[in-house]
Amino acid sequence: MVISVIIKEIKNLTHKEFEELSNIYLSTFPLENAKNLEIYLNHIYDMLKNDNKYHLYVAIKNSSMIGISLLYIFEDLKMALLDYMAVALNFQRHGVGGKLFEFTNNELNRLLPDNIGMLLEVPKEDVSDPYERLRRERRIQFYSRLGVKVLKGVNYLLPVQVDGNAEEMHLMIKPSKNITRISKKSIIAFIDSVYTDVYDYRKVNLLNKTSANLPDVIDIKELKV
């Protein structure tokens, strides 16, 4: 059953709203072995307060926050990162995520009309645990239904897992134009900007690993699971 929600941007984040955001974030984060999530939440709070390129969109039901979407816009690169999007567990599978995604994408197109697309970090599905694999496959299928495609051959590494074994992620894109390829130079510039501007991660080891084997031109393909 599709439920009715109000979706809007929050520009002046209150303490109560940040608590609601934090509860959704911590209860839905897809990587169990990610480190220091509470520390990163404080970083998110600072960005929302001080960086006008970072946007918070929320789904509201009965005056309570039930979904969040965090978008960082890189104007010079003509791209954006969907840093995180989630719906509270009790309200999943009711159409809220799709509405929140479309609202976020429409806001990107409004704020940056000539953008190339919105990129996402999505956990890969090739894990041994069958329940976790199913969760990841469903997440990929959800985004695929919304027109999101994969940047083929890009083994993206998530900076919040840098203390040992950083997990490879799919780097995916919701293209705003009818593009099928993107240059290696553009993707490296995007990842570098994400690491420094969004994660405040300024080492070069993960960027070097990701960029080492990239082709000069990267194909944008549908991801089948």
Going along the chain, which residue ranges are E strands?
A: 6-10, 54-61, 64-74, 79-87, 117-123, 149-157, 168-175, 181-183, 217-221
Q: What is the pLDDT of residue 177?
A: 85
pTM above 0.75, yes or no: yes
**173 alpha carbon, distance to own chain's centre:** 10
What is the overall mean pLDDT for the chain? 92
Domain 6-221 has CATH 1.10.1660.10: no
Higher per-residue confidence, 33 vs 210: 210
Confidence band, pLDDT 50/70/90 cuts, at residue 162: very low
Place of tokens 């934090």: 22
Q: Is the pLDDT of residue 86 over 70?
A: yes
Q: How far is 179 from 175, CA to CA, in rounded Å?
A: 7
What is the tens place of the pLDDT at every residue in 56-80? Answer: 999 999 999 999 999 999 999 999 9
Q: What is the pLDDT of residue 160?
A: 74
Domain ranges of the chain: 6-221
What is the tens place of the pLDDT at every residue in 4-25? Answer: 999 999 999 999 999 999 999 9
Strand partners, 58: 8, 68
Q: Is the pLDDT of residue 110 over 70?
A: yes
Q: What is the pLDDT of residue 33?
A: 63
Q: What is the pLDDT of residue 39?
A: 85
Cβ–Cβ < 8 Å for 10, 49: no
Q: pLDDT over 70 for what percent of the chain?
A: 96
Q: What is the pLDDT of residue 12?
A: 92
